[in-house]
Chain A
């Protein structure tokens, strides 16, 4: 899968440099990340694997600006982002980064369509929204249609199956046309078949739209569908089985 050679001068899509993260619980300090160097090239699709508790989710949260690293840097498209002020981080989360979680994390009060629209609702003011609504709704419907949910637009999350919820969550992550999609075990709660469908959809997005993706999983089969695999162990990147890793070095 390392046939995609990137010229080194192009800045990587997402990069972490010596990211450290530790948790203090009582007197013991748990060093989860101890200087992680991670690079995702533009158009890359990396699977992050590792034992449970190895810090995969932690790393993803740091990259997604949901958590701040204790030390180290996070770069997106040639710009350092971990030291930005809060509002700038909020803005990046709202527009540049799409996130998908194992537990779907849909808003229970909103319908499928509204959940997909949520990032745009957050982005726009009330008056702004009335001019944007038509376009946004059309876009959300196209996305849901692509994931086979065109007849579930007005269902609440609890009326949807796990696979459907996850597809709504992916549609929500994509509505902002993010530069990078971070998925944390998106198939973890799904049966094999619907899980495969989700992974297939992600691979297709990467292939057809050139979307950069980081996929956390502990399923080797799923990991093998990515273009490269990164293994986290003992708080550092253990194996980087990808061409992208070579170019970052």
Chain B
């Protein structure tokens, strides 16, 4: 597999399963995803659809009961002597990954901040550690930079907070410490898994602006996993929508928000309450995701899809091309398919959004 010329990170046909007491769970079923330098790519999708597992594979942090059945994760970087190199991250040993890539070149902010913090070490030590190991910074420089980072992520009294242990911080503060640790190593790629879920909107806005700013200055590339579609709208250049271990729609951010093609994406966009929602019940997508203990036949979304066609029960749809950047895996895009429009309420909401956007142009 030749790596896409412009990509810095490229997931090629990733397929992963887990052994469990109840049987083998086929969690990731052929994921393709490109990240280009300086870009932000968002991954959204149902809880349990495989977002975290996909990115964990890139940093060698899959659980012990995981098997990678297929695929490559290609990473392009500059060696210390300035030459360019492409490696397959899945071929590297955990040790190699830890010493050459993780932390220093690819940094990850995990969904559950407590799992990536050491409860027995002050947060100051934890932020400085990476700089001292990876960047060979001296202690005083690392201390100064740690203070600055804490300040940047909106933690007041940083000198005092440096001496706190993780349990002495609020949930959102811990999340911000993890972000500070990730940024401390000046990585090429930042992978954020729900980095702002526990933050109120004012601090969230500040963190998002901080990441954008670093991106503009240093050309950082970002993979951003979140279920908050407002955040996606704010940060993403491209959006990947995941369902049951596959990417079922990808496009630039405007294509996904103003012209979604996959019925699952329709459901996702329609389920978000806005400040105008006052119905008695929220719209949710009926049913539950397939149990990947059993391989689904046909389109995995079909049982929950009110627009499903006969063929959905038999064959899994390929990716159909909508534009240069927009693809969706739904038979509705097949030339022979009946013409189906998105639900009227969603159409109206999108029209309202577009009107609103005109005021900003």
Whether chains A and B associate is: no
Chain B interface residues toward A at CB < 8 A: none
